[in-house]
Structure 1
Amino acid sequence: MIEPVPSSVEQCPFCHRTIRGTTETCPHCGAERQFGPTRRESLASIGFGVVVGPAGMALAGAGITLALMAAAIGGVLGFFVAHSRHAGDRWMPPRKAR
């Protein structure tokens, strides 16, 4: 029997069984490889930016126009932070049985 090349296999970080290095889902436990941020992570970062920007402007005593601009800039910055923070691939735990 031909053994696989060691560089083409890896271990699942959750069930620790051998899987192919190119697989997107572990066939044993169902863990999934995630590329980039999840929807929840993106929305949380954008929401944080949208709230913190106007709060900073309110504390500085700026008007509503600057607060709205700060909200827009905060939302864009939150989006970029989420995408730069989770730029690579990572394994997400298996979904629970529903």
Structure 2
Amino acid sequence: MKPTLPRTAATRLHDSTQPLPPHKLIPCPCCHEPLQHTALHCAHCGAEKHYGPRLHELLLYALSGLALCLALIFILTPHAFSTASFWLYPLLGSGLTAGFLLAQFRFSGERWIQHRKK
């Protein structure tokens, strides 16, 4: 027997009873137990769905972009390391921004992250 909408909701749908959508179950990407497709947390293994980069990934990529830009400036123009150099700080800021944007694009989708067991 398929579940149907109650009479009050059916009257709003021009006296037609509509079957409810089925509950779809998918396997958890970490433990492969059944999981609803709208779940944000797995009750079996404790994995959580994340969107975008986490804080430590964001900091790692931003600081890596900063270090890479700093190394390129040092290799290409070693005289730019004086504190009076006008272009040093905007170039370092662009390296920091490039690392931040790379992290945003790299981790832009949804992913399941399982917590480490202690």
Q: Same fold (TM over 0.5)?
A: yes
Give the deviation of 1:71 after TM superposition: 1.3
Q: Bigger radius of gyration, 1 or 2?
A: 2
Counterparts in 2 of 1:19-30, with a 5 A limit? 19-30=35-46
Q: Does 1:48 align with 2:69?
A: no
Give the deviation of 1:95 after TM superposition: 3.7
Question: Unaligned regions of 5+ residues in structure 2, if any?
Answer: 3-20
Higher RCO by CA contacts (8 Å cutoff, separation 6 or greater): 1
> % of aligned pairs identical?
31
Q: 1:81 aligns with which of 86, 102, 110?
A: 102
Q: Does 1:60 align with 2:81?
A: no
Deviation readout 1:37-64 (Å, 9 max, x if unpaired): 1111100110011111121111112513
Give the CA RMSD over aligned residues. 2.0
Distance 1:10 1:52 in 2: 41
Give the deviation of 1:15 after TM superposition: 1.2
Question: Unaligned regions of 5+ residues in structure 1, if any?
Answer: none
Give the deviation of 1:93 after TM superposition: 1.4
Q: 2:48 aligns with which of 3, 28, 32?
A: 32
